[in-house]
Amino acid sequence: MSQRPDLRQRRAVLEHEWSRWVPRLSVPGARPGGTATLRHEVTESWARSLGSVDPGRDSAPVTDGGQVHQRWTSSPLYRPVSALAGELHSIAEDAGFVTAVTDESGTILWTCGGPTMRRQAERVNFAPGGRWDEQAMGTNALSLALRTGRPSSVFSAEHLVSALHGWVCYCAPVHGRDGRVLGVLDLSTTWDRSHPLAMSTVRTLVSSIEARLTTQEPGTGHLRLSCLGVERAVRDGRQLHLRPRQMEILVLLSLEPGGFSAERLRAALYGDRPVTSSTFKAEISHLRRALGGAISPRHYTLTDPVSCDAADVLRALEQGDTDTALRRYGGPLLPRSEAPGIEEWRTRIEVAVRDAVLASTRPEHALRYGERAPYDTEVHEHALRLLGPGDTRRAIARGRLATALRG
């Protein structure tokens, strides 16, 4: 069967661009004289992809508005990847790569890397929430690995989408204990940084992840944090008795699943206070023991699944669900804490909740929030504007407004 005109044209363009790099690089399948033989799996992927993907698109489509935190923390890959997070960060930052983990659908759930490479990757939405399956982004290493169940690399103009021609990607699928593909691990960088050891590195990392999948006990190690107006941590149904500083560390790690470098976490806890490195490390060690080792070394992240009322509120607000946000908002974040990182998150959450209330056209939102903000005249005035003349709840709003004005 003859190729379609668009596929023939695409192949010709690719062969021209591909041959430009062959004299400079050692490319498997290169012909003598500086031309390259296109791989069968690549041309087959183009043929499948051209019906659904425009090669001129500039970035990957978004899944769930990019809000995939809950999908990530409930993924079977969350714990083993988190346990290796320090090593993954180190590899990505030292070698100039972006590391990504997807689920079985090709949606990216987690990334790490240096700031420069991550900014470049974000331009094409190689970031959490981005869809990289074949139907969404055509020929790329992630989509090939998901389709074939085997390690894959795609270099420069082998990508269907032209915006990816400056990239090279190496990835391998992660298989569960039952043999099912759970997702892929990918190392990506610009074509000029390609390295012959990158694929073996990916294979080794995937083997480590799969080994941890085999040994981890499903359903154990789950953390539940209540930190809005209260301070409580529960692990596997048992309350943990933590010191205030340890609770601060736990909350910061739960709100930033990408984790912290030692320097950044120390600043978030102590600011400019002259605290010794040994004091900081001791707090981390005590918390790690309390959690059964569930904090990765070097780059600090939680390696057990975690749920947190503060994260629940932010997620609800991102989804436009003010009802759920107010139901779960129990008050200020760790109200006794003076840690700079906690104070920043406290303000961020309070402002986000209040703004959602003032933007709402439902009076019950202003009334509910007004219970926790007795001196917020703007909120009480907003409630009165929304309540009808005969609504008996106006008396509640008027009484609160009078109290706030007297205060």
pLDDT tens by residue, 47-60: 999 888 999 999 99
- In the chain, which residues have pLDDT < 70? 1-37, 216-221
pTM above 0.85, yes or no: no
- 258 within 8 A of 78, measured Cβ to Cβ: no
The whole-number pLDDT of residue 31 equals 40
- Tell me whether strands 232-235 and 223-226 are parallel, antiparallel or unpaired: antiparallel
Q: Which of 158, 197, 159 is nearest to 37 (CA)?
A: 158
Q: Which residue has the tokens 């240096």?
A: 114
Please give the structure tokens belonging to residue 257. 């699943």
The whole-number pLDDT of residue 180 equals 87
Q: What is residue 225's DSSP assignment?
A: E
Please give the structure tokens belonging to residue 121. 């990757």
Q: Work out the burial of residue 262: count CB atoms within 10 Å of its CB; fewer than 13 is exposed, 13-18 middle, 19 or more buried.
A: middle
CA distances from 326 to 59, 228, 268, 316 (A): 35, 11, 27, 9
